[in-house]
Structure 1
């Protein structure tokens, strides 16, 4: 059976985003090893213009901690957003990305359906504890010949940032980064969801939120994150064997955990956090 080619809203996205992000392009490929890997290759070759690279299929997609994220065409939205940033503070970027996507997808879902939340630091979860998607953020030094100041109010050295996200659209057919957690997909929420529709819903807000983060850091997002924080108030345990109650995050995005030894700060990347019991906050969006 021949499937009709996927129609992506590339021109619409370009028209909406390019005025705010000069030089921005949208590129869609039928297949590639990894959108993150491809943008990293391009950055090292001096191509650092802002771009979103979408792949209908990935042969070597990667999640956090090197886990695989595989798919069949149409099963998953997979893209990488690349741009030069020089933020006031790098702390909390992954939280902002997860929050922005969760808010956009929730806004595009029927109001009667389950809420979409963020599991620190950036995974997308449904109310019942199933994983919807995740993000991998990587950075590259700018080539010596590049003099881009970068977006943001930082005083340090600008870097090329690659924000790669995979979101299940249909029930996944193969192994994914989410194997250790029950999986969910957008069509569990609304059968009309497709990868192009999801991209059109989330990308403009994501660009705006990343630009705001670059100027102001995570603090302006702290209250918004709290409304979508699936770990807050839950008993969780860490990869080092300790456990405690998640208390939310600080203005820099650091997770606070109440343990028997007192309150502990958990930095993104130094532990893996998963809940012992999962329930989203009851407050309405």
Structure 2
């Protein structure tokens, strides 16, 4: 286990004890500052270092989000980490949904039939049900150099790749002025004032590993019903970056978004559009 000293207590040893039996060779590494946890794991993978790892940063100087967006932070404001492992899933489709779903479920298990306050905006953003963004995930993969010796997980028949799942979650209210944000921001302390970054990581990481391993074996289909319970777009009128619009109608067993339009159902594949709700009119949510 490789643990880099940090001013914040991250319970790295407990994390390692929870996860190492599931991911042979797993390590936990915490850094006070780095350019980007995703970028660092990509550098390592291309150099043949493909053992499973979670890399945590208290501060990132060049954090990245989807579609090239930057992720700004101050130490303690955000939980920022990247989970990396060699993966060969039966199908890559839907991985981003699984990641968002797993985190939402871990950070808030709403009782009974109450609407969960933390939901997932397709394909992977974490939103509160009032339309504010809590966090997001950037998933990248790298080809593994020949003769790389690292455990690989999944039941696929293709070529294994090193997958890097980088997530940023607001823990405290962001310093960025609200008017400068395209989507209003939320934080974990809006849900529970006791949250801090190490607690959130300890809560979500073991389940995330379990869900990624299940996905690698069976694809997205086992998660479809769970995702429906956290889908903040379902039933909402949304518009796409190409100017078209329609009503979000859930996802298929491979995670493809269904959009109900005047011309009928349209399938939307992750990566080819930007989906934003025109309005959010959701029922009151249980905290």
TM normalised by structure 1 equals: 0.93
1:169 aligns with 2:146: no
- Cα gap change, 1:77 to 1:249, in 2 (>3 Å): same
Which residue number in structure 2 is paired with residue 115 of structure 1? 117
Distance of 1:114 and 1:257 partners within structure 2: 23
Distance of 2:40 and 2:283 partners within structure 1: 38
Which residue number in structure 2 is paired with residue 103 of structure 1? 105
Which residue number in structure 2 is paired with residue 38 of structure 1? 40
Which residue number in structure 2 is paired with residue 185 of structure 1? 187
Which residue number in structure 1 is paired with residue 84 of structure 2? 82
- After superposing the two structures, state which structure 1 stretch, 153-162 or 140-149, moved more: 140-149
- Cα gap change, 1:281 to 1:96, in 2 (>3 Å): farther
Which residue number in structure 2 is paired with residue 13 of structure 1? 15
1:280 Cα deviation (Å)? Answer: 4.5
Which residue number in structure 1 is paired with residue 3 of structure 2? none
- Match for 2:66 among 59, 64, 67? 64
- Cα gap change, 1:282 to 1:171, in 2 (>3 Å): closer
Equivalent pair of 2:110/2:117 in contact (CA under 8 Å): no
Structure 1: stretches of 5+ with no match in the other structure:
none
Match of 1:167, SS?
Answer: strand
1:215 Cα deviation (Å)? Answer: 0.0
1:70 Cα deviation (Å)? Answer: 1.1
Equivalent pair of 1:30/1:57 in contact (CA under 8 Å): yes
State the Cα deviation string for residues 43-63 of structure 1 (Å, max 9, x = none). 011100000000000000000
1:189 Cα deviation (Å)? Answer: 1.2
1:221 aligns with 2:239: no
Equivalent pair of 1:148/1:158 in contact (CA under 8 Å): no
- Match for 2:272 among 263, 270, 274? 270
Structure 2: stretches of 5+ with no match in the other structure:
1-5
| 1:16-27 map, 5 Å | 16-27=18-29
- Match for 1:233 among 208, 232, 235? 235
What is the number of equivalent residue pairs in this alignment? 280
1:252 aligns with 2:216: no
Equivalent pair of 1:86/1:149 in contact (CA under 8 Å): no
1:261 Cα deviation (Å)? Answer: 1.5
